[in-house]
Every structure is written in structure tokens, then in C-alpha cells.
Amino acid sequence: MMGLVWLLELTIIRWDFVWLPKVQVIHLYPILMSNMQSKHNWTTIKEYKEILFQFYEGIAKISINRPQVHNAFTPLTVKEMSEAMELARQDESVYCVILTGEGGQAFCSGGDQSVRGHGGYVGDDGVPRLNVLDLQMQIRRIPKPVVAMVAGYAIGGGHVLHVICDLTIAAENAKFGQTGPKVGSFDGGFGASYLARLVGQKKAREIWFLCDQYNAQEALDMGLVNKVVPLEVLEDTTIEWCRKMMDKSPIALRMLKSAFNAELDGQAGIQELAGNATLLYYLSDEAKEGKNSFLEKRKPDFKKFPKFP
């Protein structure tokens, strides 16, 4: 059916904070495949080849758009996701990020095995890469909540992506699992150690050693996901959770995210938490006195500031 049906669509493109009308041709296949059509008026932030990057009321949605391969990722998919994640980080109007996959049948099935070469996944430049590992770090480091919205398969490197997200909302059709040892791969980083923090060492070893698949209820029972809902209300529920977080103090959420990370991430985690402490300190009159005294070529007067017990 792919390649037969095309549709013209009028969208509003957001580009450098300006909203522009644009006519584009879109493929109908993902729409026909999907049971989870959005009721919400998402607007495109930037157009990409292998992902969708959209905005709705303070939420940026990054969606892998390769439903024909259960949203397996290529180096290009990851490059695009990585750029979108950075744009979402820098954009002050974005409070939360949703990570998902198009089509309702898969969140992501991991690295695209058809482009796996000698030493990594190979893009148009012929260079083998494992750039999804950098994306994992970005998800962990972005000081905003990232919510995995999982319909269908979250498998292999796709499973690791949802594991790294701060929260996971799963549809009832979700299936979770690792395949590495079956297809000649493994993720011994967050994919193993952080997974073990979520579900415990025994269960994490079972998931990796047996390569079984687990349904949404099993995933909920083992602490792998936060909530399971019918597919029809997956996006509504995810948006509702984002809205709840958007009502909260962004700095409190930011500090909590880096504090949760710091416990597990060693010196890099402390650096992230300390960076946030520096941000808070820069906001204080005490820190400003240091900067101002230097610029005014006078001795700083720190005596006036409180010494909290």
C-alpha cells in the first residue's frame, strides 16, 4: 500500500519563533496504520526525514516516523532526534518532551539491522556509528521531564530509549524486551545498569539473558513503566501527565532530575547537579555582589548576606 496514497496537508510551521503556513505532501500510510490519531492540534516545529518534531501547549513531541520497520532507527533518525532534543532543551516555551513512535504499532524496535555494518550503524556517509548512545545521554541530561509514550513494541535499543526517559506511559498493546544477545548486540551502559536500578538485578539479567517479551501489565508490575492505559487514550493521558508537571516549579523538577541522576552517574552526575546549584547561586544577590564588585572595581561586601544554619 505504501507509495500509492498521498495527501496534501496545510500545516503551520514554527521556525525561529515565527509561525508560517506551509502546504506539504504527507504519506497516508502512517495514518492508515495508526489507531492513535491525535485529537490535539500539534504544530510542526521543524521538518525532518525520519522523525516528526511537533509542539503543543508547552510540550515538544519527538516521534520516530518509520512505522514500516516498527520505528527502527538509522544514524539519520538518531541525528534528527538529537537535534530536536537540543532544540527542545534551548526553547523556553518547551516544558516537557514526549518521545514516541508513529503508527500505534511500535515505539521503537532499536537499531535498523538492515544498515548495521562493521562497527555500527551506517548512514549515507558510509561511517559506522552508535550515535544512539549520545542521544541517551541527552535524554538524561536535558533539564526538563522526558516522557516515553509507548504503543506497541519497545524492543532492543528502542527499549533502552524508554528506560532512560524520566517516565513511561504505556498503551495496553505495548510489548517490552531486549533482543541484543539474539541479534549479536548488547547495551552494557544505561541499558543494563539503569534497567537493573528500575527492575532489580535478577529481573534485568532475565530480560537480557532470555530476550523474552513482556506485556504492559507485566512491565507495570516490575516497575518498568508508570502507567498502562488503553491505546485510544495514550496521548491524552501523556498530555495530562505533562500538564501536571507543567503546573509545578520548573527549577524544582530540574533539581530533582539531576539529583536522581547524580546518585547513579558518579562524577558526571555530581557535575550536572553542581551546574544546577551554580545556576541557583548566580540568581542570588550574594553571587551578584561578587560580579558587581569586580566590575565596579571595589572590594566585595559579602558580610551583609545571611549565614544560614
Nearest approach in angstroms of CB 292 to ligand 2NE is: 49
Nearest approach in angstroms of CB 237 to ligand 2NE is: 24
Nearest approach in angstroms of CB 226 to ligand 2NE is: 22
* Cβ–Cβ under 8 Å, residues 31 and 16: no
Among 109, 238, 261, 276, the residue binding ligand 2NE under the rule CB under 6 A is 109
- Maximum CA extent, the chain: 75
Nearest approach in angstroms of CB 183 to ligand 2NE is: 4
Cα–Cα distance measured from residue 305 to residue 153, given in angstroms and rounded to the nearest whole number = 55
Among 166, 187, 265, 272, the residue binding ligand 2NE under the rule CB under 6 A is 187
How big, in percent rounded to 5, are the helix, strand and coil portions of the chain?
Answer: 45, 25, 30
Nearest approach in angstroms of CB 174 to ligand 2NE is: 12
Minimum CB distance to ligand 2NE smaller for 191 or for 269: 191
Distance, C-alpha 192 to centroid of its chain: 18
| Residue 284, phi then psi, degrees to nearest 5 | -85, 155
Choose the binding region for ligand 2NE from 6-14, 41-49, 149-157, 280-288 (rule: CB under 6 A): 149-157
**What cell numbers appear for 24 in the block?**
506539504
Minimum CB distance to ligand 2NE smaller for 99 or for 155: 155
Q: Does 54 bind ligand 2NE (CB under 6 A)?
A: no
Q: List C-alpha distances in Å: 171 to 98, 150, 295.
A: 14, 6, 56
Among 42, 153, 176, 190, the residue binding ligand 2NE under the rule CB under 6 A is 153
Cα–Cα distance measured from residue 18 to residue 36, given in angstroms and rounded to the nearest whole number = 29
Q: Would you give the binding string for ligand 2NE spanning residues 64-103, x where CB under 6 A is met? A: -----xx-x-------------------------------
Nearest approach in angstroms of CB 37 to ligand 2NE is: 21
Among 93, 114, 193, 271, the residue binding ligand 2NE under the rule CB under 6 A is 114
DSSP string, 172-196: TT-EEE--HHHHT----SHHHHHHH
Q: Which residues pair with 8 in a beta bridge?
A: 25
Nearest approach in angstroms of CB 235 to ligand 2NE is: 22
DSSP state for residue 126 in the 8-state scheme: -
Q: Does 185 bind ligand 2NE (CB under 6 A)?
A: yes
Q: Does 255 bind ligand 2NE (CB under 6 A)?
A: no
Q: Does 48 bind ligand 2NE (CB under 6 A)?
A: no
| Residues within window 128-147 making contact with ligand 2NE, judged by CB under 6 A | 130, 132
DSSP string, 50-107: SEEEEEETTEEEEEE--GGGTT-B-HHHHHHHHHHHHHHHH-TT--EEEEEETTSSEE
Smallest Cα–Cα separation from 95: which of 62, 60, 136? 60
3-state secondary structure (DSSP) of residue 110: coil
Cα–Cα distance measured from residue 154 to residue 110, given in angstroms and rounded to the nearest whole number = 8
Among 44, 82, 179, 238, the residue binding ligand 2NE under the rule CB under 6 A is 179
Q: Does 174 bind ligand 2NE (CB under 6 A)?
A: no
Interface residue list for ligand 2NE (CB under 6 A):
69-70, 72, 109-114, 130, 132, 153, 155-157, 179-180, 183, 185-187
